[in-house]
């Protein structure tokens, strides 16, 4: 099920320099032995994780509950966290993705895809197509025909603006696999688009 465009402001993409990532990892390492330090990470990422979840469940109370579960799991599993050269947020998004998947496995609700015209323009641009209103409505319909895992890849790449390295980590696949799958999905969308316009 597609959500209405523009329901929430965009989550800020956490693109960070290597230095900022390394400095943040120092904070994460301190948080492993001092739970009070975890509060800094919670404050830094709560809103972006909440927005990420809310866009996918379309219910503020559910999003709030799932976000709380993400941070509880992160805090409890922090001693197991291993630095992979990525922002700490990638690990939080991985946990959040798993929570969302678990939520849909255990509920009778349809998955939600929240997108706006900017998302569609990026998606069309990557697919080598031109966006206009009629085609945008068609793509919204076609996204409903994709598998949840395919939509998740498109969301991370085009709606969340995540680099392939982070997408691979979040979805627990290789970076090359993330790229190949994304381009296959774009090709599938292009064929569905041409089929529906023909």
For residue range 41-95, list pLDDT tens digits in order.
Answer: 999 999 999 999 998 888 899 999 999 999 999 999 999 999 999 999 999 999 9
The pLDDT of residue 173 = 94
Domains of the chain: which residue ranges? 2-105, 115-197
Q: Which two tokens stand for residue 30?
A: 């301190």
Low-confidence ranges of the chain (pLDDT < 50): 1-14
Q: What is the largest CA-CA distance in the chain?
A: 61
Question: Phi, psi at residue 163, to the nearest 5°?
Answer: -70, 155
Task: Give which of 156, 55, 64 is closest to 115, Cα–Cα.
Answer: 55
Q: How many CB atoms lie within 10 A of CB 76?
A: 9
Query: Is this model's pTM higher than 0.85 or not?
Result: no
- 3-state SS, residue 114: strand
Tell me whether the CATH fold assigned to 2-105 matches the one assigned to 115-197: no
- For residue 182, give the H/E element and its range: helix 175-197
Cα end-to-end span (Å), the chain:
25
Are the C-beta atoms of residues 33 and 43 closer than 8 Å to each other? no
Distance CA 76, CA 170 (A): 18
Q: What is residue 195's predicted lDDT score, i.e. its pLDDT?
A: 66
Q: How many residues does the chain have?
A: 198
Architecture per CATH, 2-105: Orthogonal Bundle (1.10)
Nearest to 41 by CA among 76, 13, 75: 75
Return d(Cα 69, Cα 76) in angstroms, integer: 10
Which tokens sit at 129? 């197509």
The DSSP 8-state label assigned to residue 146 in this structure reads: S
Cβ 109 vs Cβ 68: under 8 Å: no
pLDDT of residue 126: 66
- Distance, in Å, from the CA atom of 4 to the CA atom of 7, rounded to the nearest integer, reads 6
Alpha-carbon gap, residue 166 to 97, rounded angstroms:
13
State the burial class of residue 81 (Cβ atoms within 10 Å of its Cβ: 0-12, 13-18, 19+). Answer: middle
The predicted pLDDT at position 10 comes to 40
pLDDT of residue 134: 61
User: Could you tell me which CATH number the domain at 115-197 has?
Assistant: 1.10.10
């Amino acid at each position: 099920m597609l959500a209405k465009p523009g329901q929430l402001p965009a989550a800020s993409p956490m693109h960070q320099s290597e230095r900022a990532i390394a400095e943040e990892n120092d904070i994460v390492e301190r948080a492993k032995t001092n739970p009070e330090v975890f509060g800094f990470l919670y404050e830094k990422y709560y809103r972006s994780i909440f927005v990420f979840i809310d866009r996918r469940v379309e219910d503020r109370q559910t999003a709030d509950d799932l976000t709380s579960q993400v941070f509880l799991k992160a805090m409890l599993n922090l001693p197991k966290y291993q630095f992979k050269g990525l922002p700490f947020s990638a690990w939080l998004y991985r946990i959040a993705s798993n929570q969302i998947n678990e939520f849909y496995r255990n509920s009778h609700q349809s998955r939600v895809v929240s997108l706006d015209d900017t998302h569609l323009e990026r998606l069309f641009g990557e697919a080598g197509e031109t966006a206009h209103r009629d085609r945008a409505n068609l793509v919204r319909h076609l996204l409903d025909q994709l598998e949840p895992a395919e939509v998740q890849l498109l969301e991370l790449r085009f709606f969340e603006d995540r680099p392939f390295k982070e997408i691979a980590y979040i979805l627990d696949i290789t970076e090359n696999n993330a790229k190949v799958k994304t381009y296959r999905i774009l090709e599938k969308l292009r064929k569905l688009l041409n089929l529906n316009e023909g």
